[in-house]
Chain A
Amino acid sequence: MQIVWKHIIRNIMANKLRSFIIVASLSLSTIILYSTMTIGDNVVEKYTESLLEVYQEYDIQIAHEDSTRFDLDDLNIGDEFKGSTLSVTTALGNYNYVTDKYDKNIDVVFIGTDREKLISDGLITLSSSREDWDDNENKQIIISKNTSERYGIELSDTILVTTSNGDIEYTVKAIAENTGYASQEVSSSLYVYVTQSEAEENSIIGVDFILMNLSEGINVDSYIEEFNINNEGYEASALVNYDEINQSINSTKQILTIILVCVIGINFFVISSFTKLLLATRTPVLGTFRSVGASKFIVNMVLILENIVYGLIGGALGIILALLLNAKIVEEFIGYEGVANVVNIGYIVLALLFSVVLQVCIVITSIIKTNKIDIISSVFNKVDVSATSSWKQFSIGIILFATSIILYFSNNNYNYILAVLALLCAIIGGALMVTKIAKVLVDVITGKMNNGPIRMGIKNVSHSKITQTNVNLVSSMLAILLLIYILSMSISSFFSGAIETINADYLISGMKENVEKYDFLEENTDIENYRIIYFEAGKADINSKEYYNFQIVGMNEATEGIKDPSDHFSELNNNEILVDKIFAKKNDLLVGDVVLLASEMLTEEVEFTILGYIDAGSFNSTRQLFIINEETYFKYVSKVPKMIFINTTTVSDEVYFKLYDDTYQYDLTLVTGDEYIGVQEKSIDGVMQLIYIMFILSFILAFVGIINNLLIGFLQHQKEYAILLSTAMSKLQVKKMIFTEIVFSFIISCILGGALSLWLSKILELILYSINIGVSIDINIMSILFVLLAVLVVLSMTFFVPNHKLKKMDIVNQIKGEE
């Protein structure tokens, strides 16, 4: 066995470039697979970490269903848990914030609780700035550093807060770090930590909740289920909602899976073409093995073992790189900073296994085919290097391609699995058909040509195995590459559309009141016009099916990019909804259906009737929304607008600062239209960059592979060239022949790859819709032709490789067969 291992290792080391390409291809796939597998854990870890920081050991939160007050003793939770709870009462007040520039009322949020417990349980950490206080003493507060800095309130300062009990003066007795519970202070309200009794006294509209720490070993979900049965009217919820996290990362996982499929597709062509060549060059050795008594099984095993080594090296390298880059990749996709890099031994083993299995699966047919060659042909290397284009292969290709078409057109519900299957069938089917189509094209063209080097060059495209491999490799690569190009063009076009749709100089958000409250909209003379957008986003149950990040939109006419060709808006009555046509198809929602919508966004559960379909892709790329008229929105959701789009008479710094002052007074957020689009674009840019990197790497590998193939092709044919040179052709004619062969093979590849990419892009659109990315694929034929031309020029430059070899070729030695 030692000798077999030496043979394998020396084989791998003998051709470093080829081995490197195979290993690099496998590593690339392994990185993506590892990221796909760990993305859930990474995000959950990050999410759990941040929630742990906020809630420490607490597992669940209990509140009354009607948000009314309650006491710990009202709950049926068992005495053993009572000590592991923290009751919190929140209340609201008002603080008049006055500076040289501003004079405004801001909300004060009282967080009333056992502050000593809050500190000892680690939910807040006091900074060094601390004065002693009596926890039972009223009018003594803790504030966070954030609040202190925002409102310029220092330790020992007093603030006057208007409560339901009148104006009360509070003294700041301690300042907390901006970590833990204090990190939850997201709005610009003034958060103060007081005793629970004080919070209860200060407001009658306060909300109570209890945090509970379950003992080790108690299953949170089971406990919640049991709690909800035993405590009617109350609701317990887990502080870490894994369902929500999983749904939010589902799209990312699906995108990574698509990338994985495409990269595996590219790897398949790169690795299989290399393997075929490697096996072709080693046929005599394999024949020798057989002649000294190795059975087919043993030879197969030796070759499989060699590929297992490739798989292990590629997998190990991929895992190392994935461990280094994984957190960064996930951050780009999810948009979170500081994602944890989870090392999971199970996933590492799986990724390693994947790399090995992938490599073996790619090469197994070539190995078996090689071993079917009889021993004599192997020993004397009499294997035919001329190409054959089998009808069987073409027929399988046709069947797969037809399957892809059927899967595409029958996938009315935007099913992700079926869409990915359609993509796979199209890629593999297309690749299987390429050889035959190329041969037919060659026969048609050469049939009308006179003899000569150009005709011979073109004919070689269908007669040389190595050229066929290149045609296959380039057309498949190109199809996938163009697919990415089309996708990126479509995304750019989508954002251009979004920019046009927004059509606003400024956007305001963060409203807490009805629009009438914001008088500056009418008073600011720079404002030319403004549009109010009403929507809420959150979890919603549609006919008991859960949707996260679902939007309820209040709108009276088709604006903000919503397309309504059938003018449903004019007929939209109360309790009727308009649904995006793709979302409706995906979820089997038909016109006339009555849907029950339950959500925290609504004041009550409501039954809506579907009036018609609209196209909401430009408004919300996930298309997960219901549109109701504004009256219904005000009734069931809120009168508070979500966004206000403003157009000003001019766009200048002066106008901006004036508007900034106006909005600051109302604690609103102001962004420019460009900033808003920039944020949207940035969220997708990271993902696109990663996709580009993956594909550029794959393309480089394939390009090196093509050059390698050309070199081997030249070596295989150099005796033939020498004979042609010695008998019939000048060097220029041979060069012409080789050049024609190379360029024509790439022209065919570009035609076939380009055609395949158009179909693949249709399927990609379906896949994107299936994962709630409503980007319509926009095919710009001129730009695709330009890319094809550029690729053709780059690829044609590979002619210099055989040309250089031809110059150095020793004709006499070639004819004698001594080289």
Chain B
Amino acid sequence: MKNILEARNIVKVFGEGENSTKVLNKADVVLKEGEFVSIMGPSGCGKSTLLYIFGGLLKPTEGSILIDGKDISKMKDKELSKVRRTNIGFVFQFYNLVQNLTVEENILLPLVMQGRRSSSYSKELDDILEIVGLKDKRKSIPSKLSGGEQQRVAIARAIITNPKIIFADEPTGNLDSKTGKDIMELFVEISKKKKITILQVTHSEDAALYGDRTIRLLDGMIADNGEK
């Protein structure tokens, strides 16, 4: 299977001079198409930083990141935004939905940012609402939904553009265990059905077990890449 993400020698330093902290130290990660991978590690080990560097939300101090063959580490804002719009989906712990937009408007937001007509995507929208189980809530606003439902909207928003990879930062961190389990099952379903690569950061061993493998991070370095 082809590599969707290839990250080499990723170094990230925050601050300058005496106040600088090296959060990531020469981390190498490769993710294949359709793979569902979890990253685990103690607090402050650099898990989320690694995820955001892969997603182009943070710039690495050193190293390169190829997403579907394109190096995003040197890209300017405009190119990077295009990559995020077309190849990447994000799911955050606190959902990050736009509160004054309805469920379906939140889901269609990435398409709107691409300048596409949202009305042309009604079939895709229906399919995705079916997958995430929110068909009857499409006109609701986020504040009227439960945490689990909001996270489903966030996942639906992440997959509407049919990205190559989804980055999820503690997607079950704000949910109870039953809802967390449902979300993990939804990720597995999406990964299998749509062949989308998923990389999640989690503190939960249970959640990590849903993935094909688990990368363990310690003090900014890859301690175990989970490959058997």
Residues of chain A at the chain B interface (Cβ within 8 Å): 1-4, 6-7, 10-11, 14, 284-285, 287-298, 374-376, 379
Task: Provide the main secondary structure of the chain B interface.
Answer: helix
B112 proximal to A (CB < 8 A)? yes
A591 to B58, CA, bound (A): 73
CB of A293 within 8 A of CB of B82, answer yes
Contact of A293 among B58, B92, B110 (CB under 8 A): B110
A292 to B108, CA, bound (A): 10
CB of B92 within 8 A of CB of A379, answer yes
* New contact pairs (13) apart from A291-B92, A292-B157, A298-B113, CB-CB < 8 Å: A4-B112, A14-B100, A285-B98, A285-B99, A288-B97, A289-B113, A291-B90, A293-B81, A293-B85, A293-B88, A293-B110, A298-B81, A376-B52
Contact of B118 among A2, A7, A293 (CB under 8 A): A2
B96 proximal to A (CB < 8 A)? yes
B101 proximal to A (CB < 8 A)? yes
Instruction: Give the nearest-CB partner of B113 in chain A.
Output: A294
Q: Which of B107-135 contact A (CB under 8 A)?
A: 108-110, 112-114, 118-119
What residues on A are CB-neighbors of B100 within 8 Å?
6-7, 10-11, 14
Contact of B58 among A1, A287, A376 (CB under 8 A): A376
CB of A288 within 8 A of CB of B96, answer yes
Nearest chain B CB to A271 CB, angstrom units: 21
CB of A3 within 8 A of CB of B78, answer no
B86 proximal to A (CB < 8 A)? yes
What residues on A are CB-neighbors of B84 within 8 Å?
290-293
What residues on A are CB-neighbors of B90 within 8 Å?
291-292
Show 23 A/B contacts (Cβ-Cβ < 8 Å), sorted by A. Answer: A1-B112, A6-B101, A10-B100, A288-B97, A289-B113, A290-B84, A291-B92, A292-B109, A292-B113, A293-B82, A293-B86, A293-B88, A293-B114, A294-B113, A296-B81, A297-B78, A298-B113, A374-B57, A374-B58, A375-B52, A375-B58, A376-B57, A379-B92
Nearest chain B CB to A817 CB, angstrom units: 11
Nearest chain B CB to A621 CB, angstrom units: 56
Residue of B78, B81, B109 ringed by the most chain A CB atoms within 10 A:
B81
CB of A6 within 8 A of CB of B105, answer yes
What residues on B are CB-neighbors of A293 within 8 Å?
81-82, 84-86, 88, 110, 113-114, 161
A379 to B154, CA, bound (A): 14
A3 to B118, CA, bound (A): 8
What residues on A are CB-neighbors of B57 within 8 Å?
290-291, 374-376, 379
B77 proximal to A (CB < 8 A)? yes
Nearest chain B CB to A103 CB, angstrom units: 86
What residues on B are CB-neighbors of A295 within 8 Å?
77-78, 81-82
Nearest chain A CB to B113 CB, angstrom units: 4
CB of B101 within 8 A of CB of A3, answer yes
Contact of A292 among B85, B99, B105, B119 (CB under 8 A): B85
What residues on B are CB-neighbors of A14 within 8 Å?
100
Nearest chain A CB to B183 CB, angstrom units: 18
| In the A-B complex, the 3 residue pairs with the closest CB atoms | A293-B85, A295-B81, A10-B100
Q: Which of B131-145 contact A (CB under 8 A)?
A: none
CB of B96 within 8 A of CB of A287, answer yes
Instruction: Give the nearest-CB partner of A290 in chain B.
Output: B81
A285 to B112, CA, bound (A): 15
A292 to B105, CA, bound (A): 13
What residues on A are CB-neighbors of B157 within 8 Å?
292
A800 to B96, CA, bound (A): 34
A297 to B114, CA, bound (A): 12
A3 to B58, CA, bound (A): 28
Residues of chain B at the chain A interface (Cβ within 8 Å): 52, 55, 57-58, 77-78, 81-82, 84-86, 88, 90, 92, 96-101, 105, 108-110, 112-114, 118-119, 157, 161
What residues on A are CB-neighbors of B86 within 8 Å?
293
A284 to B97, CA, bound (A): 9
Nearest chain B CB to A184 CB, angstrom units: 65
Contact of A379 among B77, B96, B110 (CB under 8 A): B96
A270 to B77, CA, bound (A): 32
Beyond A296-B77, A376-B58, whether A291 also contacts B96 by CB under 8 A is yes
A294 to B57, CA, bound (A): 12
Instruction: Give the nearest-CB partner of A9 in chain B.
Output: B100
CB of A3 within 8 A of CB of B92, answer no
What residues on A are CB-neighbors of B101 within 8 Å?
3, 6-7, 10
CB of A3 within 8 A of CB of B112, answer yes
What residues on A are CB-neighbors of B77 within 8 Å?
295-296
Nearest chain B CB to A190 CB, angstrom units: 77
A449 to B199, CA, bound (A): 54
Instruction: Give the nearest-CB partner of B80 in chain A.
Output: A295
What residues on A are CB-neighbors of B118 within 8 Å?
2-3
Instruction: Give the nearest-CB partner of A292 in chain B.
Output: B110
A4 to B98, CA, bound (A): 11
Instruction: Give the nearest-CB partner of A298 in chain B.
Output: B113
What residues on A are CB-neighbors of B88 within 8 Å?
293
Nearest chain B CB to A442 CB, angstrom units: 27
What residues on A are CB-neighbors of B92 within 8 Å?
291, 379
Residue of A4, A6, A288 ringed by the most chain B CB atoms within 10 A:
A288
A298 to B85, CA, bound (A): 12
Residue of B92, B97, B108 ringed by the most chain A CB atoms within 10 A:
B92
CB of B113 within 8 A of CB of A288, answer no
What residues on B are CB-neighbors of A379 within 8 Å?
57, 92, 96
A293 to B84, CA, bound (A): 5
CB of A3 within 8 A of CB of B108, answer yes
A376 to B51, CA, bound (A): 11
What residues on B are CB-neighbors of A284 within 8 Å?
96
Contact of B98 among A1, A2, A288 (CB under 8 A): A288
Nearest chain A CB to B173 CB, angstrom units: 13
CB of A294 within 8 A of CB of B81, answer yes
Residue of B78, B88, B96 ringed by the most chain A CB atoms within 10 A:
B96
What residues on B are CB-neighbors of A11 within 8 Å?
100
Instruction: Give the nearest-CB partner of B48 in chain A.
Output: A376
A635 to B131, CA, bound (A): 104
What residues on B are CB-neighbors of A2 within 8 Å?
118-119
Nearest chain A CB to B120 CB, angstrom units: 12
A3 to B107, CA, bound (A): 11
A290 to B100, CA, bound (A): 17
Instruction: Give the nearest-CB partner of A294 in chain B.
Output: B113
CB of B105 within 8 A of CB of A3, answer yes
Residue of A1, A10, A288, A293 ringed by the most chain B CB atoms within 10 A:
A293
A285 to B52, CA, bound (A): 17
What residues on B are CB-neighbors of A285 within 8 Å?
98-99
What residues on A are CB-neighbors of B99 within 8 Å?
285
Residue of A298, A374, A375, A379 ringed by the most chain B CB atoms within 10 A:
A375
A297 to B77, CA, bound (A): 9
Instruction: Give the nearest-CB partner of B154 in chain A.
Output: A288
What residues on B are CB-neighbors of A296 within 8 Å?
77, 81
A4 to B84, CA, bound (A): 19
What residues on B are CB-neighbors of A292 within 8 Å?
84-85, 90, 109-110, 113, 157
What residues on B are CB-neighbors of A7 within 8 Å?
98, 100-101, 105
A375 to B48, CA, bound (A): 13
A285 to B94, CA, bound (A): 12
A298 to B112, CA, bound (A): 10
A7 to B108, CA, bound (A): 13
What residues on A are CB-neighbors of B112 within 8 Å?
1, 3-4
What residues on B are CB-neighbors of A294 within 8 Å?
81, 85, 113
A287 to B112, CA, bound (A): 16
Nearest chain A CB to B143 CB, angstrom units: 12
What residues on B are CB-neighbors of A375 within 8 Å?
52, 57-58
Residue of A4, A11, A289, A292 ringed by the most chain B CB atoms within 10 A:
A292
A594 to B113, CA, bound (A): 74
Nearest chain A CB to B159 CB, angstrom units: 12
Nearest chain B CB to A304 CB, angstrom units: 16
A445 to B54, CA, bound (A): 49
Instruction: Give the nearest-CB partner of A293 in chain B.
Output: B85
Nearest chain B CB to A250 CB, angstrom units: 49
Instruction: Give the nearest-CB partner of B81 in chain A.
Output: A295
